[in-house]
Amino acid sequence: MTRSVPDRLLSFFSWACALSLISALFIIIGFLVLKGYKALTPELIFGDVRPLDALLLKRQVFGGLFPAMAGTFFLILLSMALALPLGLASGIYLAEFAPSGTKRVLSFLFDILSGIPSIVVGLFGFSITIFLHHYFGGRIFPCLLISALSLAFLVLPYIIRTTQIALESLPLSLRLTAPALGATKARNIFYVLLPSSLSGIISGLILAMGRCAEDTAVIMLTGAVATAGIPKSVFSGFEALPFYIYYMASEYSGPPELMKAYGAALILLILCTVLFVFSHGIKHLLRAKTQYLPNPL
Amino acid sequence: MDFQDRVFRTVFFGASVLSAGVTVAVLGFMILLSLPVLKMGFLWEVLTSPWSPGRGQFGILPMMAGTLALAFLSLLVSLPVSLGCAFFMEILHPRGAGALLKKLVHFMTAVPTVIYGFVGVFLLVPLVQEFFAYGSGMCILSASLMLGLVISPTLILFFSESFSRVPQHYLNAVDSLGGTVFQKLRHVILPQAWPGMLTGMVLAFGRAMGDTLIALMISGNAVLMPSSLLDSTRTLTAHIALIFAADFDSTEFKILFISGIVLYAMTSLGILFARYFHKRALS
Amino acid sequence: MKKNIQIRMDHLWFHYHDRVVLEDIRIEIEKNAITAISGPSGQGKSSFLMVLNRLWENIPGARVTGRVEMDFGKGFEDIHRSSLPVHRLRQRVGMVFQTPNPLPMSIYKNIAFPLTLMGEKDRAKIAFRVEAALKKAYLWDEVKDRLAENAETLSGGQQQRLCMARALAAEPTVLLLDEPTSSLDEASVRVIEDLLLELKKSCTIILVSHYMDQIQRIADHCLVLSDRRLRPDTAKGRDI
User: In whole angstroms, what is the distance from residue C92 CA to residue C77 CA?
Assistant: 13
H helices of chain A, in order, are: 5-36, 42-46, 51-55, 66-92, 100-115, 118-135, 144-168, 172-180, 185-187, 194-196, 198-214, 217-222, 241-251, 255-290
Q: What is the mean pLDDT of residues C210-222?
A: 88
Q: Which residue has the higher pLDDT, A69 or B43?
A: A69
* B12-31 mean pLDDT: 93
Rounded CA-CA distance B174/B187 in Å is 9
In a domain, A214, yes or no: yes
pLDDT at B109: 93
At residue C28, the 3 state secondary structure works out as strand
Q: Which residues of C touch B283 (CB under 8 A)?
A: none
Is residue A264 assigned to a domain? yes
B212·A113 Cβ contact <8 A: no
Whether residue C167 and residue B170 make contact (CB cut-off 8 A), yes or no, is no
Of C175, C43, C154, which Cα lies nearest the Cα of C101?
C154
Contact of B172 with chain C, judged by CB distance below 8 Å, is answered with yes
Q: CA-CA distance, B33 to A127, in Å (whole number)?
A: 8
Q: Is A297's pLDDT higher than 50?
A: no
Is residue C35 over pLDDT 90?
A: yes
- Whether residue A61 has pLDDT greater than 80: no
Put simply, whether C180 touches B (Cβ < 8 Å) is no
Distances (CA, A) of C117 to A10, B245, C109, C132, C169: 16, 63, 11, 18, 11
A40 in a structural domain: no
Q: Which chains touch A (3 or more CB pairs under 8 A)?
A: B, C
Domain count, chain A: 1
Q: How many CB pairs under 8 A join A and C?
A: 20
Q: What is the DSSP string of B170-184?
A: HHHHHHHTT--HHHH
Calculate ∠ Cα B195-B197-B202, nearest 5°: 95
Contact A130, A222 (CB under 8 A): no
Give A 4-23 residues with CB within 8 A of chain C.
4
Question: Nearest-CA distance from B73 to chain A in Å?
Answer: 17
| Predicted local distance difference test score (pLDDT) of residue B160 | 94
**Could you tell me whether strands C174-178 and C204-208 are parallel, antiparallel, or unpaired per DSSP bridges?**
parallel
Give whole-number Cα distances, C232 to B143, C220, C236, in Å. 70, 12, 9
Q: Supply φ then ψ for residue C181, to 5 degrees.
A: -110, 5
Distance of CA C230 to the CA centre of its chain: 18
Q: Among A3, A4, A297, select the one facing C47 at the smallest CB separation.
A: A297
pLDDT at position C82 is: 78
Domains of chain C (ranges; CATH) run: 5-232 (3.40.50.300)
Per-residue pLDDT band for C15 (boundaries 50, 70, 90) equals very high
Is the model's pLDDT at A293 over the cut of 60? no
Instruction: Check if the beta carbon of residue B183 is closer than 8 Å to that of residue B171.
Output: no
pLDDT (0 to 100) of residue A289: 52
Distance from CA of C225 to the nearest CA of A (A): 13
Pairwise CB contact (< 8 Å): C82 & A1 = yes
Interface test with C, best of A1, A8, A11, A297 (most C CBs within 10 A): A297
A108 part of a folded domain: yes
Residue A26 CB neighbours (<10 A): 12
Identify the domain containing residue A281 by its residue range.
66-289
Closest CA to A230 of A60, A107, A98, A77: A60
Nearest to B115 by CA among A153, A117, A36: A36
The number of CA neighbours under 13 Å toward the Cβ of C123 is 0
Using the 8-state DSSP alphabet, how is residue B187 labeled?
I
Q: What is the mean pLDDT of residues A127-131?
A: 86
Nearest residue in C to A4, CA atom: C85
- Classify residue C32 as left (phi > 0), alpha (psi -120 to 50) or beta: left
* B interface test, pick of C95, C109, C183 with most B CB neighbours within 10 Å: C95
- In this prediction, residue A268 carries a pLDDT of 94
Q: Is a pLDDT exceeding 60 seen at residue B63?
A: yes
C44/A297 Cβ within 8 A: yes
Instruction: Measure in Å the smallest separation between the Cα of C171 and chain B Cα atoms.
Output: 11
What CATH number should be reported for the domain holding residue A261?
A: 1.10.3720.10
**Best of C63, C96, C101, C115 to disrupt the B interface by mutation (most B CBs within 10 Å)?**
C101
By C-alpha distance, which of B142, B163, B161 is closest to B77? B142
Is the pLDDT score of C238 beyond 70? no
Q: Rounded to the nearest 5°, which phi and psi values hold at C15?
A: -110, 140
Residue at A38 is within a domain: no
Separation of alpha carbons B278 and B225, rounded Å: 34
Please enumerate in sequence order all residues whose Cβ is within 8 A of that of B222, keeping only pairs 6 or more positions apart, or say none. B231, B232, B233, B234
CB contact under 8 A, B178 and C88: yes
Calculate the average pLDDT of chain B: 89
**pLDDT tens-digit profile of B122-172?**
999 999 999 988 888 899 999 999 999 999 999 999 999 999 999 989 999
Report the pLDDT value the prediction gives residue A33, as an integer from 0 to 100: 94
Q: Looking at chain B, which residue has its C-alpha nearest residue A21?
A: B81
Residue A165 has pLDDT above 70, yes or no: yes
CATH architecture for residues B47-282: Orthogonal Bundle (1.10)
pLDDT at A1: 43
Distance from CA of B157 to the nearest CA of C (A): 22
C90–B177 CB contact, under 8 Å: yes
CB B12 within 8 A of CB A86: no
Instruction: Classify strands C221-226 and C34-38 as parallel, antiparallel or unpaired.
Output: parallel
- Determine the Cα–Cα distance for residues C5 and C204; give it in Å rounded to an integer: 10
Give the closest of C17, C61, C85 to A2, CB-based. Answer: C85
Q: Work out the burial of residue A290: count CB atoms within 10 Å of its CB; fewer than 13 is exposed, 13-18 middle, 19 or more buried.
A: exposed
Percent of chain C at pLDDT > 90 equals: 35
- d(C-alpha A82, C-alpha A238), whole Å: 18
pLDDT of residue B55: 75
pLDDT in the model for residue A245: 94
C-chain residue closest to A296, CA distance: C59
Distance, CA of A269 to CA of A262 (rounded, Å): 10
Residues A240-253: what's their mean pLDDT?
A: 90
Q: How far apart are CA C111 and CA B149, in angstroms?
A: 43
Share of chain A above pLDDT 70, in %: 95
Task: Report the alpha-carbon angle B265-B266-B270, nearest 5.
Answer: 115
- Give B14's Cβ-side CA count (13 Å radius): 7
- Whether B86 shows a pLDDT value over 90: the answer reads yes
Taking CB atoms and an 8 Å limit, are A185 and B182 in contact across chains?
A: no
Length of chain A measured in residues: 297
Of C16, C44, C84, nearest to A2 by CB-CB distance is C84
pLDDT of A261 higher than 50? yes
Number of cross-chain residue pairs from B and C with Cβ atoms under 8 Å apart: 67
The answer to the question of residue A279 being in a domain is: yes
